[in-house]
Amino acid sequence: MGSLESSFSPEDREFYEREFAFFNEVTGISGTLRSVLHEPKEVKKQKIEEELRKIQVEVGVYLPSNPDGQVIGIDRKSGKPLQSHAKTPFMATFRIRKNKPSTPGVIEETEDNDRSSQKSNTYETWLSAIFKVGDDCRQDVLALQMIAAFRGIFNTVGLDVWVFPYRVTATAPGCGVIDVLPNSISRDMLGREAVNRLDAYFISRYGNEDSIRYQEARSNFVKSMAAYSVISFLLQFKDRHNGNIMIDDMGHIIHIDFGFCFDIAPGGIKFERAPFKLTAEMIAVMGGSTTAQPYRWFEELTVKAFLAARQHANHLSHIVEVMLDSGLPCFKPDTIKNFRDRFVLDRDERGAAEFMRDCVKRSAGSQSTGVYDRFQLITNGIPY
């Protein structure tokens, strides 16, 4: 660090110090929240607003997860504390100025008329981010790199499935910035809004099951369910409660928060024994039974995604191996062996397809998924 810093020109050094001062001020809010850790949410929200008002936005600063845009303002009232037992993550929204993309498209105009000279080159937008302190975000970074690798594999073979590797940037030991998923709501928040079932939400959001909008949303749900099911099984995502499962406005399901993967589970609890999360309400969205056409399509896509991933087991293993010496808690002595074993490379393609069909069947009939959801409701108040 010393060698790098001493090589900076005076202008670069000034920019570097300005950026880090801004970022440290924002992440420092997490530290001040500790003083009101056990206070109600409203008190925490007020504290965040108070701290955001103290921050002066200097010229040229940016969010580490979005270096292609300059921060020009902060929505001081946007601060929101997030659910966590011991940590104090929070969300804030920033006004960002970006360069206009070179491809034709609809560009959001700036709000002030006196900025006409900038309208031709730039546009402004709001961007929300989550700031975490005291959490090692490198595990999330690894999981999302893996998800991006899976997406590349699926695209290469032309498989029509869908995942969204959003951005997480580890900024310092125990610190990180996480992009907020646009136009999405967690299954947990749906429960809090008294939408008791996912299939009921789909009907209220997209219309009845015969409508084109519902069919499109269901199709998106199936494509994303298939991809995330295979990835969840291979990477062993745990802690799959409803706060960690999002639905976007197109009907896709998106998994977030990968603090528990590979060979660790929350508190060592082994509730989540199913290969992946496939609940009755998810099946209801996909036709309501394991014989319904959308569900059979989901099963078929899941098998195809698994077979596609198997072809690249060595490449995927290398991505994990690079991180083995990082000291991340998800790694145990047998992590790579266990990971490779889940690809069932000793079987032929037909045998591997049967193996994944069995995983789908076991997930659909699993009692442990419901037990874990009930456990999260009792311990963390997360509805299901």
Report all structural domains of the chain as residue ranges with CATH numbers, in order of start.
Answer: 2-133 (3.30.1010), 138-380 (1.10.1070.11)
Question: How far apart (Å, rounded) are the C-alpha atoms in residues 301 and 357?
Answer: 11
Q: What is the pLDDT of residue 136?
A: 79
Structure tokens at 205: 């959001």
Q: Please state whether beta strands 90-99 and 122-133 pair in parallel, antiparallel, or not at all (unpaired).
A: antiparallel
Structure tokens at 78: 């946007």
Beta carbons within 10 angstroms of residue 262's beta carbon:
23
Helix axes 138-156, 293-310, angle to 10 degrees: 100
Structural contact between residues 4 and 34, judged by C-beta atoms closer than 8 angstroms:
no
For the chain, 384 residues long, give each residue's pLDDT as a single digit of tens.
899 999 999 999 999 999 999 988 898 888 788 788 778 888 889 999 999 999 989 889 999 888 889 999 999 898 888 876 556 788 999 999 998 876 555 444 444 444 444 456 889 999 999 988 877 788 899 999 999 999 999 999 999 999 999 999 888 888 889 989 989 988 878 766 656 689 999 999 999 999 999 999 999 999 999 999 999 999 999 877 788 899 999 999 999 988 888 988 765 555 557 899 999 999 999 999 999 999 999 999 999 999 999 999 999 999 999 989 888 888 999 999 999 999 999 999 999 999 999 999 999 976 545 444 554 454 444 444
Compute φ and ψ for 29, nearest 5 degrees.
-60, -35
Beta carbons within 10 angstroms of residue 153's beta carbon:
17
Dihedral sign (CA 165, 166, 171, 174):
negative
Contacts of 81 (CB under 8 A, 6+ apart): 33, 41, 44, 45, 48, 88, 89, 90
Global confidence as pTM: 0.82
